[in-house]
Amino acid sequence: MQQGKYRFVTGFLIVPVMLYAVFMIWPYVQTFGYSFTNWQGQSQEMSFVGLDNYTALFSDDVFLKALWHNILLLVFLPIATILLALFFAFMVNVGGRGGSGGIRGVRGSGIYKILFFVPHVLSIAILAVLWRAIYRGDVAGLINGVFIKLGLSDPAHPIEWLNDPDLVLWCVAFVLLWWGVGFYLVLFSAAMQSVPREIYEAALLDGASRVQSFFKVTLPLLWDTVQTAWVYLAILAMDCFALISVMTPGNSFGGGPDHNSEVMATYLMRNFLSFGKSGYACAMGVVIMLLTLFLSLVTLRVSRRERIEY
């Protein structure tokens, strides 16, 4: 029955493996090598400089600032997104409560699920252009428009969201929150729906309030998914390239004002495409990768606990 099996398997695997190895894996591997050189890009002339790029990175003020911004995002973005998404998911799936013990979502939960997910199918580039318009620093910006309507800010001096050194990074973070909540709502919903209804019904019969059933029943059962969400949001927080480069002020790939919204990805791209410092950019790529990997491993390890079978 298995005659010609190996020929078949080879035939089916060879093209995908080759493509994938050449265009994805090989550049990944090369990055490590180049990160030890002073490569300038176009020509193949380069010499081995050891760890120079890495030591330079950690005395480069702009890079350290960028790294710090990534870390800030790394801490706050997952917390905000997961809490909001969990709250919404709980409401949409088990928040509606009847006296006769029905476990279901609040009214219109289907609509909310469809609606909240919409931002997630839009490209980050579209989000960036759209939110740049929304955050405009004059009366024409949507947020300033709303604030002025509500009397929260002075029409003569609207808030310059993206030009304010203290606000700019959080403005960008909010866009990521806006983009991500719907996705994690759906993700957590899927996990909540796989929890047997009897568990909720038992909690309800025992007189658990909604808050109690959330913290004592839902959250522990969803722990695995929350952990996965954390890793994915951390990876997202390490990126932010499109948003920062389009939304924020600054020459070549944004990051302004005065590097106050700089992240590692924008600084990498500026070094690579504008300054032609390819070796240096590769070293940044490696740092981004190591940090991401480290974070995923730490998250998975720290949050590991007894898996609940049901």
Partner 1 sequence: MSYTRLNSGAKKAAVPGPRVSKDGDGDRSGAAGGAGEGRVLNVFSHGFLLLWAVMIVLPLIWLLLGSFKTDSEIGASAWSWPSNWNFDAFTRAWDKGIGDYFANTLIVLAFSIPLTMLLGAMAAYALARYEFPGNRFFYYFFVAGAMFPVYLGLVPLYFLVDMLGMLNTYQGLILVYIAYSLPFTVFFMHAFFRTLPTAIHEAAVIDGASHTRIFFQVMVPMAKPGLLSVAIFNVLGQWNQYILPMTLMQQQSGFDKDRSVLTQGLVLLNQQQGYEGDLPVIFAGMTIAMLPVIVVYLTFQRQVQSGLTAGTLK
Question: What is the residue whose two structure tokens read 């590991």?
Answer: 304
User: Which of 181, 226, 237, 295 contacts partner 1 by CB under 8 A?
Assistant: 181
- Indicate whether 163 belongs to the interface with partner 1 (CB under 8 A): no
262 lies in the site for partner 1, by CB under 8 A: no
Contact pattern from residue 206 through residue 245 relative to partner 1, giving x for each residue in contact according to CB under 8 A and a dash for the rest = ---xx-------------xx--xx--x--x--xx-xx---
The binding track of 289-308 with respect to partner 1, each residue x by CB under 8 A or -, is: x--xx--x------------
| Nearest to 54, CA basis, from 46, 44, 64 | 64
Q: How far is CA 115 from CA 27, 121, 131, 157, 291, in A?
A: 39, 11, 18, 34, 34
**C-beta of 304: minimal distance to partner 1 in Å?**
13
Bridge partner list, 96: 104
Stretch that binds partner 1, among 45-53, 70-78, 86-94, 165-173 (CB under 8 A): 86-94
- Does 263 contact partner 1 by CB under 8 A? no
With respect to partner 1, which residue has the nearer C-beta, 8 or 215?
8
- 276 near partner 1, judged by CB under 8 A: no
> Is the Cβ–Cβ distance between 238 and 74 less than 8 Å?
yes
Report strand pairing: 103-104 vs 96-97: antiparallel
By CB under 8 A, how many residues form the interface with partner 1?
114
Closest contact distance (angstroms) between CB of 180 and partner 1 is 11
Q: Does 20 bind partner 1 (CB under 8 A)?
A: yes
Tell me if 307 sits within 8 A of 246, measured CB to CB. no
Q: Judged by CB under 8 A, which of 31, 53, 81, 213 binds partner 1?
A: 31
Is 120 near partner 1 (CB under 8 A)?
A: yes
Shortest CB 4 distance to partner 1, Å: 7
Distance from C-alpha of 134 to C-alpha of 144, rounded to nearest angstrom: 8
> Does 24 participate in binding partner 1 (rule CB under 8 A)?
yes
156 binds partner 1 (CB under 8 A): no
Asked, as a colleague might, if the bond just before 257 is cis with ω within 30 of 0, I would say yes
- What backbone phi and psi angles, to 5 degrees, belong to 230? -60, -45
Residues 6+ apart with CB under 8 A from 277: 40, 41, 271
Single out the residue of 73, 82, 128, 171 in contact with partner 1 (rule: CB under 8 A): 128
Cα separation, 134 vs 246, whole angstroms: 13
What are the angstrom distances between the C-alpha of 153 and each of 133, 148, 279?
A: 18, 5, 47
Q: How far is the CB of 206 from partner 1 (least distance, A)?
A: 15
Q: How far is the CB of 169 from partner 1 (least distance, A)?
A: 19
Position 6 contacts partner 1 (CB under 8 A): yes
CA-nearest of 167, 163, 139, 140 to 153 is: 139
Q: Which of 116, 161, 200, 230 binds partner 1 (CB under 8 A)?
A: 116
Minimum gap (Å) between residue 240 Cβ and partner 1 = 11
| Dist CA 47 CA 76 (whole Å) | 40
Q: Does residue 51 touch partner 1 according to CB under 8 A?
A: no
Figure out which of the listed residues 183, 213, 240, 250 binds partner 1, where binding follows CB under 8 A.
183
- The count of C-alpha atoms lying within 13 angstroms of the C-alpha of 29, restricted to the half-sphere facing its C-beta, is 7
Q: What stretches of the chain adopt beta strand conformation (E)?
A: 96-97, 103-104
Q: Which residue of 47, 59, 123, 251 would you call a contact of partner 1, by CB under 8 A?
A: 123
